[in-house]
Amino acid sequence: MATITNHMPTAELQALDAAHHIHPFSHQAELAEKGARVITRADGIYLTDSEGETILDGMAGLWCVNIGYGRKELADVAARQMTELPYYNSFFQTTHVPVIALSQRLADLAPGDLNHVFYAGSGSEANDTNIRMVRTYWAEKGKPTKTTIISRKNAYHGSTVGAASLGGMAGMHAQGGIPIPDIHHIDQPNWWAEGGDATPEDFGLERAQQLEQAILELGEDKVAAFIAEPVQGAGGVIVAPDSYWPEIQRICDKYEILLIADEVICGFGRTGNWFGSQTLGIRPDIMTVAKGLSSGYMPIGASIVSDEIAEVIGNCEFNHGYTYSGHPVACAVALENLRLLEEEGIVDRAGREIAPYLKEKWEGLLDHPLVGEAKIVGLMGSVALTPDKASRAAFASDPGTIGYICRDRCFANNLVMRHVGDRMIICPPLVITKAEVDLLIERARKSLDETLEKATADGLMVAAS
Ligand SMILES: *Cc1c(COP(=O)(O)O)cnc(C)c1O
């Protein structure tokens, strides 16, 4: 059998891919027809495909390559660790240096008294851990009925059975028999789409107070925790009105509900600070991290928990763990990634220099006829596409029709910009420069122009009634 390499013709690679590879979150038959784009290498913020095209990656892979592509330091650390100790577990009275070092580093970086780390192979697994951890915590405290976790519609917390149950994605809940019991969803704080005539401030308060109503309806003695992303990522980069988070924090404090901040996207510089909780003024009891923790170079996730939770859990045997919890190579790579993000001032510069520059340019897209709302926090942003700005109207076509056209135009213009329904989102590597921000905006604007042209020609610029 011939070796499959980067040098094979694209069509052959695509045919082999379609023959044997089932893609995540994809319609296989449709994908096979179009053919998947074959990415062959990457450097900085740019991807190269099998046709030799250079593509600006406005999504940092899947929201994860914070440090940018091509950092040899991370490869070197991985090679060294693989040679020295490629694997060992920490189940049976054993530990190793990379997991010790990374835990200390994370305790240092994390705000407040979040000083203890439980490892997983991904963000989904870490959220599964959180479900079991908060329930075990309350059981150990003599309150075993506190099992329900409140989450939000359109939240994304991962794709395992537990994490997808926590998430509020209707399309995911429609398949495979989820959610699991004792997960409750309240509405998301998406003012642009759902705020009606309310001011953003009033709407933010109302949506936060749904948490209080849910606690009162379910019973305070039944609720274990509330989980939320500081900024909803996969839901479309939904930024809550300013009134939202202080009210959520007040309610969690009042009813002694554990607050889980899912920082899988927001962590490690994405929002302009090390953690989204710092940007939004939240004091979580648990933070879920993954993605930017290793900048995607190795799969790793974790739950970073408070002194109080660690102490309570520490009084029992917590019957939970993964073969790859605290994998030495993943830990070593994550540690080196954090060192570079800090010592090279990447997080600092992203927050202080790039975020304000990107914000100005991104919000400049508001003058485009298709753009109804432009939101951005740090280096994650979204625009809502609309046929009528004044009424904040959705399109009459199936949700995502226009977004898909726009994503297609971006693809053609060598920009990775994702669509969630009819919202377009960006999340570039933190190492993006101002000149590269200009290029991103130029390609985004060109793609929006072409989208408007096509949507107009196809008679799609019609508001839903
Ligand atoms: C991606 C993501 C997850 C899931 O992480 P995986 O590593 O894909 O399992 C969880 N929460 C949020 C907020 C995410 O964006």
In a domain, 23, yes or no: no
Tell whether ligand 1 has an atom less than 6 A from the beta carbon of residue 233.
yes
Alpha-carbon distance 344 to 462, whole Å?
49
CA of 265 to the centre of ligand 1 (A): 7
Q: H-type helices in 156-243, by residue range?
A: 161-166, 170-173, 191-194, 200-218
- CA 7 distance to own-chain centroid: 33
Q: Which residues of the chain have pLDDT under 50?
A: none
Can you give the CATH number for the domain in which 208 is found? 3.40.640.10
Residue closest by Cα to atom 10 of ligand 1: 157
Same domain, 361 and 420: yes
In a domain, 2, yes or no: no
Tell whether ligand 1 has an atom less than 6 A from the beta carbon of residue 294.
no
Same domain, 53 and 95: no
Domain housing 319 = 72-343
Same domain, 253 and 291: yes
Ligand 1 atom closest to residue 155's alpha carbon, by position in its atom list: 13
Can you give the CATH number for the domain in which 405 is found? 3.90.1150.10
> Other C-beta atoms within 10 Å of 1: how many?
3
Ligand 1 atom closest to residue 262's alpha carbon, by position in its atom list: 13
Same domain, 154 and 247: yes
Same domain, 288 and 407: no
Task: Choose among 417, 443, 438: nearest CA to 428.
Answer: 417
Point out the domain boundary residue: 291, 317, 343.
343
In a domain, 169, yes or no: yes
In a domain, 214, yes or no: yes
Same domain, 213 and 159: yes
Same domain, 301 and 384: no
CA of 243 to the centre of ligand 1 (A): 26
pTM of the model: 0.98
Residue closest by Cα to atom 6 of ligand 1: 123
The pLDDT, as a whole number, for residue 228 is 98
3-state per-residue secondary structure call for 379-444:
CEEEEEECCCCCCCCCECCCCCHHHHHHHHHHHHCCEECEEECCEEEECCCCCCCHHHHHHHHHHH
The pLDDT, as a whole number, for residue 128 is 98
Same domain, 193 and 313: yes
In a domain, 396, yes or no: yes
In a domain, 277, yes or no: yes
To test the pocket of ligand 1, the residue of 152, 157, 231 to mutate (highest count of ligand atoms within 8 Å of its CB) is: 157
In a domain, 13, yes or no: no
Looking at the 3D structure of the chain, how many domains does it have?
2
To test the pocket of ligand 1, the residue of 119, 287, 291 to mutate (highest count of ligand atoms within 8 Å of its CB) is: 291
- CA pseudo-torsion sign 215, 218, 219, 222: negative
In a domain, 27, yes or no: no
The pLDDT, as a whole number, for residue 105 is 98
Same domain, 64 and 79: no
Same domain, 268 and 350: no
| CA distances (Å), origin 151, targets 12, 184, 462 | 44, 6, 33
Alpha-carbon distance 229 to 157, whole Å?
8
Same domain, 77 and 58: no
Point out the domain boundary residue: 309, 343, 377.
343
In the chain, the amino acid numbered 32 is A
Point out the domain boundary residue: 343, 369, 385.
343
Same domain, 373 and 246: no
To test the pocket of ligand 1, the residue of 62, 64, 122 to mutate (highest count of ligand atoms within 8 Å of its CB) is: 122
